[in-house]
Amino acid sequence: MSLDFTGRVAIVTGAGGGLGRQHALALAARGAKVLVNDLGGAVDGSGGSVTAAQRVVDEIRSAGGEALANGASVTDFDAVQDMVRQAVDAWGRVDVLVSNAGILRDKSFAKMELADFRLVLDVHLMGAVHCCKALWPLMTQQKYGRIVLTTSSSGLYGNFGQANYGAAKMALVGLMQTLSIEGMKHDIRVNCLAPTAATRMTEALFPPDMLQAFGPEAVVPAMLVLAGRDAPTRTTLCAGAGAFEAAHVPLPQGLHVGIGPDAPEHLLAQLGAVRDRTGETVPESGAGQGANEMRLARGART
């Protein structure tokens, strides 16, 4: 069960610092050739320089590994395609994508500019889409691929001031759900990672005595499992401070209330039973919801 990446090629976006840097270093330390992508901008996405990516490449090379730097913005699909070609030209294939690039434009929804909402969606959601789209034909042809999308507790559970970020991060879970189904026959496994880590984007949120415990390196084991040969698929792993949890989107058993004119009143009266989580399941696909509703409707006829 050793997590050995010898002979594998990985692309890690947003890898110039924080979580992405730790991901890139860990993959390289276990034998992967790593393309280190980072726009080199500020936390809000402004500016840009390949310097941050090159520093991580230098770290990997000084430890005896192989790495290349790339400064593409994941919002630019043409640049992302060039990034994939850079890796293929150098190493012949790409086995692993860790989609980690992201920015913050936090503000309460009432005060948030729509431009800031769109930009966060563009970087987190469309950036991941661009990377997956550019790699999908290659991974399909190889009959092998491991994709790790970085979601967040803010998407899974919400967080004040992060409507844009939370919407983008939950959208990535939806992307993962479908890509994992479509990729199954090609051994393309797609998962999500929800990290809790003290990085330049989040370190102000942690009490000083917990900064070390929540270092980004503590999230790396989950990434390695999700990116490895024996990875699961359609799994959302949460990770922080050496603790790991799996998050699910369960479907409760529900209740049939009919479709008559008084159905809204019946539903309101029975909402507690509808929300009861006893016997909930995690459907294998979106069809599971319809199948459960069909079961309830048929049961109501008997």
Q: What are the extents of the domains in the chain?
A: 9-247, 263-301
**Residue 179, SS3 per DSSP:** helix
In the predicted model, what is the mean pLDDT of the chain?
94
The answer to whether 122 and 80 are in contact (CB under 8 A) is no
pLDDT value of position 301: 83
Helices (H) and strands (E) in the chain, counts: 11, 8
- Name residues whose C-beta falls within 8 Å of residue 36's C-beta, 6 or more positions apart in sequence: 12, 15, 16, 24, 53, 54, 56, 57, 60, 67, 68, 69, 70
Sequence-distant (≥ 6) Cβ neighbours of residue 85 within 8 angstroms: none
Q: 163-183 and 127-142 are packed helices; what angle lies between their axes, rounded to 10 degrees?
A: 10
Contact by Cβ (8 Å): 121, 102:
no
pLDDT band at 203 (very low <50, low <70, confident <90, very high): low
- What is the dihedral sign for C-alpha 198, 200, 202, 205? positive
pLDDT for res 47: 59
Phi, psi of 193 (to 5 degrees): -120, 125
DSSP symbol at 123:
I
Question: Partners of 168 in the beta sheet?
Answer: none
Tokens of 115: 């431009």
Dist CA 288 CA 270 (whole Å): 22
Active site residues: 165
Of 236 and 50, the structure prediction assigns the larger pLDDT to 236
| Residue for token pair 């990729």 | 183
Q: pLDDT value at position 6?
A: 98
Look up the CATH superfamily of 9-247.
Answer: NAD(P)-binding Rossmann-like Domain (3.40.50.720)
CA distance 172 to 32: 25
Question: Is residue 241 over pLDDT 70?
Answer: yes
| Verdict on whether the full-model pTM lies above 0.75 | yes
